[in-house]
Amino acid sequence: MTCHFTLKSKGEIMKKLFISIIFLVVAVACNGQPNTSTTIEVGIVSPQPDKTYLLFVEVDTDTLSARLFDDMDYLSPNVSDLIVNISSWTMIGDTLFGEITYPDLTYIRFVKGGLVQVNDFTNKYSAMRTSYWTDLDAVEPNNAGFIFRRK
């Protein structure tokens, strides 16, 4: 017993296979889980030799009041508690890039960065340069009740 396919039946099989693959891709893409964290990229343009850079990050639920502002002295008022260390930096062209990751919560938060340059020999430091506020992602809160029991 042998089985033969005609060109018409091979075309039909390929068409059904193609439609099945498209359906599977769409189903998986539409049912994916949301990201559970937001990554913020930090860039220091033209970093100088013999200088250390202090990175400050403020996370808040509103943008009306900020602890970080342009041209501030980071020790008056003291905002040293906002210093963040980034372990892996990458140099691309003349810019040094690093990343900070924050977990997504069920409410909207904003993040603002600041940078101070410190001379390694004299320990003198520059005034702070700050960024604008950037929003972090949030996950959908689940406000529904839930019952799970054996009956």
pLDDT given at position 9: 67
128 inside domain: yes
Residue 99, SS3 per DSSP:
strand
Residue 100 lies in a domain: yes
Do 133 and 112 form a contact (C-beta atoms < 8 A)? Answer: yes
State the pLDDT at residue 125: 96
**What is the arrangement of strands in the sheet containing 37-45, beginning at the earlier edge strand?**
37-45, 95-103, 90-92
Where does the chain show beta strands of DSSP type E? 37-45, 51-60, 83-84, 90-92, 95-103, 109-119, 129-130, 134-136
Residue 30 within a domain = no
User: Looking at residue 88, what is its pLDDT?
Assistant: 87
**What 3-state class would DSSP assign to 8?**
helix
- Is 95 inside a domain boundary? yes
pLDDT of amino acid 135: 93
pLDDT reported for residue 36: 87
- C-alpha 146/C-alpha 151 separation (Å) is 15
What does the pLDDT look like over 111-122, one tens digit per residue? 999 999 999 999
pLDDT, position 84 = 95
Query: Is position 86 within any domain?
Result: yes
Query: Under a CB-based contact definition with an 8 Å cutoff, are residues 85 and 26 in contact?
Result: no
pLDDT in tens, the chain (151 residues): 555 545 556 667 767 766 776 766 655 555 555 568 999 999 999 999 999 999 999 999 999 989 999 999 999 999 999 999 988 899 999 999 999 999 999 999 999 999 999 999 999 999 999 999 999 998 888 888 888 889 8
Domain encompassing residue 78:
37-136
Give the number of domains in the chain: 1
Structural domain includes residue 110: yes
Pairwise CA distance, residues 83 & 99, whole Å:
14
Alpha helices (H) in the chain, listed in sequence order? 7-30
Domain-located, residue 76: yes
Query: pLDDT for 43-58, tens place per residue?
Result: 999 999 999 999 999 9
In a domain, 1, yes or no: no
